[in-house]
Amino acid sequence: MLPAAVAIERSGVDVEPGDHADVCFETMPQWMRLFVPNRVTGLTLRRRIFLDPETYDEVVAGVRPDIVSHELVHAGQWKADGGRFPVKYLSEYLRFRLVGVMHDAAYRSISYEMAAFRAGAESQRTMNSSTTPSATPATPNRVNPA
């Protein structure tokens, strides 16, 4: 397990570590992989952030500020909204899917994901501007359900 404060320091993410003192990053257990698609690299459940092994190693190395920021946003959303978080998250996703929006667009249109992707993109831009010039990940556009 990697405390969020350590992940924040190593990745250079501009957040207050004290706000996430009870949050930790860890490798997603094998049993969880039975229920989570392989393309999912991270899953936040309250104060625990589960990552696939490769992504976890990158977070430990401090080279994935986008993931650190993205998942810390979700930890904050859990803290702010409590039990409403998973209900709202799933209901937004299903609302998009029911009107015919494909999975990836529906996922990226969830309000919680929109906020997390913005934070992740900003962290990646900051890292890129302080190291070498490169392309910046695009912030996803929200799909408006019919």
Per-residue pLDDT in tens (0 to 9) along the chain, 146 residues: 999 999 999 999 988 888 899 999 999 999 999 999 888 999 999 999 999 999 999 999 999 999 999 999 999 999 999 999 999 999 999 999 999 999 999 999 999 999 999 998 888 777 766 655 444 444 444 445 54
Judge whether 33 lies within some domain: yes
Torsion of the alpha carbons at 92, 95, 97 and 99, rounded to the nearest 10: -150
pTM score of the predicted model: 0.84
Q: For residue 136, give Cα distances in angstroms to 6, 76, 108, 125.
A: 25, 24, 17, 6
Which range marks the domain in which residue 108 is found?
2-130
- As for how many domains the chain has, the answer is 1
Judge whether 69 lies within some domain: yes
Judge whether 143 lies within some domain: no
C-beta pairs of 138-141 under 8 Å, 24+ apart in sequence: 140/108, 140/109, 140/113, 140/114, 141/108
Q: Which residues pair with 43 in a beta bridge?
A: 50
Length reported for the chain: 146
